[in-house]
Structure 1
Amino acid sequence: MRTQEGAFVVEGTHAVRDLLTRSPEQILTIVTAHGYLPKEAESDRLARQVASIQQYSCSDIQFSKLSDLDAPQGVLAVVRQPIWDEEEILEQPTLLGVFGEQLQDPANVGAIIRTAAALNVSALWLTPESADVYHPKVVRATSGVLHRLPIFFMRDVSELIRQGCRIFTAEVPGEGTIPIDEIRTVPRKFVFAVGNESRGLSAQIRTQATTRFTIPLSREVESLNVAATVAIATFHFSRLPKSQ
């Protein structure tokens, strides 16, 4: 239904406030519960009133049926799914991208989107088997930044390579891998790939990588959560100089 309608639901006071402030043109409808209105902050009420947006109010019981939360806050927005130009992004002279292969945990996907948006990643690519980026759990985990990060779907990294991107892969230590802190420069256009929460990256993607890196860990810890891996790697790579 989300795909057919080209829309998704954003719930909660903070998330709706952020949309009204930053992207009011993306909001199709706002729904409030009767019990929310007396508690609504004056600034939020004024922001809703001045917005040229279709709005409805319903009983708390009706709202609870619309909500995906166990304890609804009483306000939600139906929002347009953003549309991005993938060709335009791939034509940029510099690019830092993230590729996720079969990332199936909505909380992880949401956290990755939030991190990537915060650290100015150019775009996120996901394989079709990954979690729906407009799933309510993903939307909540993004904390309202879905409209700030271009997201595309791609089966593998072959097209990225054809577009001039170098591929880095995040892996467990093994033959051919290097610690991330030994990487001192990065290409002008590159994408680093992370794999499925339990299986990691496929051999196909690992063999297409120009750099295979690991994140050094304590001996007592076997691996990192994939969202933590993306956060550490993005922060590290975004601060490195570009190679000539």
Structure 2
Amino acid sequence: MAKTIESHQNKIYKYIKSLSQKKNRDKEGLFLAEGVRFVSEIPPNWEVEMFVITKAFTMENDIRNFDKRAETYIVTEELFLPLSDTENPQGVLAVCKKQREGQEEIWKRDAPFFLLAEALNDPGNLGTVIRTADASGVDGIFLSKGSVDVYNPKVLRATMGSIFHVPVFQNVDLKEITLKMKEKNISLYAAHLKGDCYPYQLPLEKGCAFLIGNEARGLSHEATNLCDRWVRIPMPGKAESLNASIAAGVLMYEVVRQRLK
């Protein structure tokens, strides 16, 4: 049965609010999924610690499924607002366990398709990359040290729930990952303005991965030197470069195009 929280001083309330900070998310291994659509995307086998809903939400929605799945707390709109990261809260959030999936399974897949990112800093960009990766069938995403936290609320909101569908590995050593790819005969291509080929010229039906760089600085020399080849996206217009998430999307969908032939 759902319980009621009536004060900012409530221990459970303070605990939930603390998860807005990365250090506490890391310590507890938890993150907040907010909004009707986002919460509805949580897979049945994903661990949920608790739900928090407003009194108004309970009047318009059947909360029995929440209560069956995890501890459920009802709060006033006034108490919910400090927990929310949106301008117009929908009155529902879930406290979820972070991803537990290891890398072992994804390396076993036939012709795997990966995306690597070096120091991707913009939350909206990363969230969009994850959402596009989900749509295009990417098997896993590897983020180097210096990238924005994947459980940052703005990242999560931009994923539109795709965080539950694509394995994302943070703070990886790019050198270690690329060595693993070479062992598995997975070709790694750097998205680079000085690339010597276009995406459609690459054999992407085989195991492959793309490496994209920081929004402002691009890829470091160390990172590009780990790659088998540099690839550039055709830009017949006057813009000097593409947004990182757009560039990643173009590359991911070239893989889709080739594999759907």
Match of 1:129 among 141, 146, 151: 146
2:25 equivalent in structure 1:
2
Counterpart of 1:199 in structure 2 is 217
The CA RMSD measured in Å over matched residues stands at 1.9
Task: Identify the match of residue 73 of structure 1 among 73, 82, 90.
Answer: 90
Instruction: Quote the residue 1:190 is aligned against.
Output: 208
In structure 1, C-alpha distance between the alignment counterparts of 2:135 and 2:51, rounded to whole Å:
26
What amino acid is the match of 1:239?
R
Kindly provide the CA deviation profile for residues 146-198 of structure 1, in whole angstroms up to 9, marking residues without a partner as x: 121111131224433333332101111x3x52122322x22632211000001
1:140 and 2:161 equivalent? Answer: no
Give the aligned residue type for 1:74: G
Aligned partner of 2:200 in structure 1 is 181
- Where do 5+ consecutive residues of structure 2 fail to align? 1-23
Partners of 1:69 and 1:216 in 2: CA distance = 37
Q: Which residue number in structure 1 is paired with residue 21 of structure 2? A: none
Q: Which residue does the alignment assign to 1:107?
A: 124
TM-score (normalised: structure 2): 0.83
8 Å contact kept, 2:81–2:89: yes
Of the three residues 162, 166, 169, the one matched with 1:152 is 169
1:115: Cα distance to partner? 0.8
Amino acid at match of 1:38: M
Q: CA shift at 1:24, angstroms?
A: 5.8
SS at match of 1:178: coil
* Count of aligned positions: 233
1:35 aligns with 2:85: no
- 1:181–1:93 distance in 2 versus 1, CA, 3 Å: closer
Report the CA distance between 1:116 and its aligned residue.
Answer: 0.7
Asked whether the 8 Å contact 1:161–1:167 carries over to 2, the reply is no
Residues of 2 paired with 1:34 and 1:87: CA distance? Answer: 43
The one-character-per-residue Cα deviations of 1:59-106 (angstroms, maximum 9, x if unpaired) are: 111111111222211111111111112133223332110000000001
Aligned position for 1:116: 133
2:254 corresponds in structure 1 to: 236
Q: CA deviation at 1:25?
A: 4.2
Matched, 1:218 2:241: no
Identity %: 28
Question: Structure 1 length as normaliser, TM-score?
Answer: 0.88
- Deviation of 1:46 after TM superposition, in Å, equals 4.8
Shift of 1:54: 0.6
Distance 1:5 1:81 in 2: 9
